[in-house]
Copies of this chain bind each other. A is one copy, B any other.
Amino acid sequence: MSNVSLRDVEIRYGASQVLDRLDLDIGAGEFFVLLGPSGCGKSTLLNAIAGLTEVASGTISIGGRNVTWEEPKDRGIAMVFQSYALYPTMSVRGNMSFGLRVAGMAKAEIAARVEKAAGLLRMTELLDRKPSQLSGGQRQRVAIGRALVRDAGVFLFDEPLSSLDAQLRAELRVEIKHLHHRLGATMIYVTHDQIEALTLADRIAVMRDRKIQQLGTPQDVYQRPANRFVATFVGSPAMSFVKGRIGEDGSFVAGDIRVDLSAYAFATRPVPGQPVELGIRPEHVARAETGLAGVIEMVEPMGADLLAWTRLAEAPVSIRLAAETRIAVGDRVRIELPGRHLSLFDLASGARL
């Protein structure tokens, strides 16, 4: 149970800079999720916190202690590696218990913990296999187990559930949540799974280009994305965008369509005529008799519901409908864009308005 804070941390691999004077404060016991496109530096960041990659500049402190120069073992962390990094010569049991044995924990206690972890990872009967005898997902579970058994102050998860099936993933999500409550440990969690991010996180950081784009609660990030990138990146099916400008009356104007923004909560007041971009999430597009007219161009069934694509002012816009909705390509629809759920971005900077 210890907070983690980074002060203008910079990390470079040879010439290329991966993290650029990053400042970050993660509260003790917080569940912190890192989102970001592949290659944006998430793992690097975790490695830096773990003390596995040297920072070029800046300081890292855990639990108020400056650990910038300390060995991983002195940082009180447990980590799930994106590449698993299992000990090939040890059995699953060996892999899980190794950290504990090193710490000199009592045999019985170790056995108990390993059993428990194995149980909730559904691999009790695999405990005596070698990693090379496991499936991809099973290996990943071993990697998770290796972290779960430890009681560290900070847990670092690097895409821990990426190759598990939805069901198991849901179950483990819950388990991790429980663990978090039980230990009250700080957890830093990298994932590409939106649901994971939104359900687990106390706070989410969205990274890109060596910087953090937005830092906030799941709701914030989802409903009030700080800029166009966050808007596109978070949420799937993704948000649709319509280019236009601010009309005299402060409403959004694009070609012949006009969207009322009176209900919109502006971050910064735009000036009339300013070129802007309007973001709409599929689930917020409502069908209404009196609304903007469109023609269905494509229909994607997605199990729970289906996604219909139409166009507003040349821009493709997706609409989420119930799976059983009777709708086909070519149908005309009328839709309504509820002002308070929209997002408005400055066209030039991409910043939220």
Contact = CB atoms under 8 A, between A and B. Distances in A.
B235 A137 contact: no
Given A159-B136, A222-B303, A283 B322 contact: yes
Nearest to A169: B192
Contacts of A195: 236, 302-303
B233 A199 contact: no
A218 interface: yes
A53 interface: no
A131 to B, nearest CB: 11
Interface in A186-206: 192-195, 198-199
A164 B236 CA distance: 13
A313 interface: no
A135 B193 CA distance: 17
A310 to B, nearest CB: 18
A119 B82 CA distance: 25
Most chain B C-beta atoms within 10 Å of own C-beta, residue among A134, A166, A170, A235: A166
A210 interface: no
Contact of A137 (B39, B44, B305): B39
Interface in A168-218: 168-170, 192-195, 198-199, 218
Interface residues of A, number: 60
B236 A170 contact: yes
A83 B283 CA distance: 36
A165 interface: yes
Contacts of A166: 192-194, 233, 236, 238
Contacts of A300: 199
A141 interface: yes
A350 to B, nearest CB: 15
Contacts of A162: 162-163
Given A198-B301, A324-B341, A39 B135 contact: yes
Identical subunits present: 2
Contacts of A43: 135-136
A268 interface: no
A162 to B, nearest CB: 5
B322 A305 contact: no
Contacts of A223: 323
A290 interface: no
A225 to B, nearest CB: 11
Given A38-B135, A198-B302, A222-B323, 10 more contacts: A37-B167, A37-B168, A38-B168, A39-B137, A43-B135, A198-B301, A198-B303, A199-B300, A223-B323, A283-B323
25 contacts: A35-B165, A37-B165, A37-B167, A37-B168, A38-B136, A38-B137, A38-B141, A38-B165, A38-B168, A39-B134, A39-B135, A39-B137, A39-B138, A137-B192, A159-B163, A162-B162, A170-B236, A170-B237, A194-B303, A198-B301, A199-B300, A219-B301, A282-B304, A283-B305, A283-B323
